[in-house]
Amino acid sequence: GAVVSQHPSRVICKSGTSVKIECRSLDFQATTMFWYRQFPKQSLMLMATSNEGSKATYEQGVEKDKFLINHASLTLSTLTVTSAHPEDSSFYICSARDASGGDNEQFFGPGTRLTVL
């Protein structure tokens, strides 16, 4: 089956620093990747859609200058949380859509736990 990886799996950083999270599709090409955020005991919230070779599109209420997304290749998208603050502490999950798949199912990564001190 299709595999999506994320790195790192967990990160702890100081307030004010920037953190980069990588999302990779390991055995398929993904023209579109998605980034989600999940707070404790809550559901996944879609943050943005990442498109290879073009600008990401952000959901309403998500600050694009705060959450920088780069989708430089068909297998890699990165999310950078800039000037992180404690309220940015969350579980960040990416998913990738197999461009060759007929029904467009999404495959999810294992998530990255971000803790901002």
Partner 1 sequence: DAKTTQPPSMDCAEGRAANLPCNHSTISGNEYVYWYRQIHSQGPQYIIHGLKNNETNEMASLIITEDRKSSTLILPHATLRDTAVYYCIVRVSYNFNKFYFGSGTKLNVKP
Applying CB under 8 A, the span of 12-20, 61-69, 72-80, 99-107 interacting with partner 1 comes to 99-107
* Residue whose token pair is 């390991």: 26
Q: How do 10-13 and 112-116 pair as beta strands? A: parallel
- Say whether residue 77 binds partner 1 (CB under 8 A): no
Q: Are 114 and 81 in contact (CB under 8 A)?
A: yes
CA distance 110 to 117: 23
Q: Residue 92 CB, nearest distance to partner 1 (Å)?
A: 10
Q: By C-beta, is 45 or 74 nearer to partner 1?
A: 45
Smallest gap from residue 70 Cβ to partner 1 (A): 17
46 binds partner 1 (CB under 8 A): yes
Q: Is 103 in the site for partner 1 (CB under 8 A)?
A: yes
Distance (Å, whole) CA 98 – CA 117: 36
